[in-house]
Amino acid sequence: MREVIVVEGKNDFHAVKRAVPEAEIIITSGFGLNSQIIQRIKIAHEKRGVIVLTDPDHMGEIIRKKIEEHVPGVKHCFIPRGKATKENDIGIENVDPEVIREALKKVHKVSNKNKNYEEQREEFTTLDLIENDLALSSKASTNRAEIGAILGIGYGNAKTFLSRLNTYGISRQEFDEALKKVRGENNG
């Protein structure tokens, strides 16, 4: 693996090493993410590229956004919340090695153009979410989780999910194929 993987803590480090023994990993120490760690991430990004793999929870999202803010252009990898939960504990340390390897095949990058709100890509709208039971539906949360897992963009509320569809450059075809898979599972 060429890119350096950024995780939150030591237990996450060990989980990723079990999945990808040759990986180089940087630990953020959670909210302990300081200027020295940011500098290490910047250097790794310039030399080899970086994949951010944080826990699928609120803290993980904050750390992910902080890294993206200081090191634009990093790639993002998401693990579905259900695959990262063990006895009410959510974290990468709970994820099976095969799930980590599969997630690393679905990394996404925020393009510089998509970071600017004024130039935000608007391939998908709230109407797309509503029409496809991804918002304002009793099945919306479950459907977003399943489609997020298929597309490799993780779970999010409707606003976050819509932003990720647009920001990570998901194509209409990818979206439609993921919908078909979910509908097939839900109807079959």
Q: Which domains does the chain have, with CATH numbers?
A: 1-109 (3.40.1360.10), 116-188 (no CATH)
Residues 32, 40: Cα–Cα separation, whole Å: 14
Considering the entire predicted model, what is its pTM? Answer: 0.84
Distance CA 162, CA 157 (A): 8
> Residue 55 in contact with residue 91, Cβ under 8 Å?
yes
Rounded Cα–Cα distance for residues 39 and 13 (Å): 19
* Residues 54/60, Cβ–Cβ less than 8 Å: yes
pLDDT for residue 46 = 97
The pLDDT value recorded for residue 118 is 43
- With a cut of 70, which residues of the chain have pLDDT below it? 111-120, 185-188
Tell me the backbone φ, ψ of residue 76, rounded to 5 degrees: -125, 140
CB 90 within 8 A of CB 84: yes
- Per-residue DSSP letter, 75: E
CA distance linking residue 145 with residue 169, whole number of Å:
18
CB-side exposure of 32: number of CA atoms within 13 Å? Answer: 9
Q: Which residue has the tokens 């925020």?
A: 110
Among 16, 5, 4, which Cα is nearest to 92's?
16
What is the signed CA dihedral for 29, 153, 129, 123, rounded to 10 degrees?
110
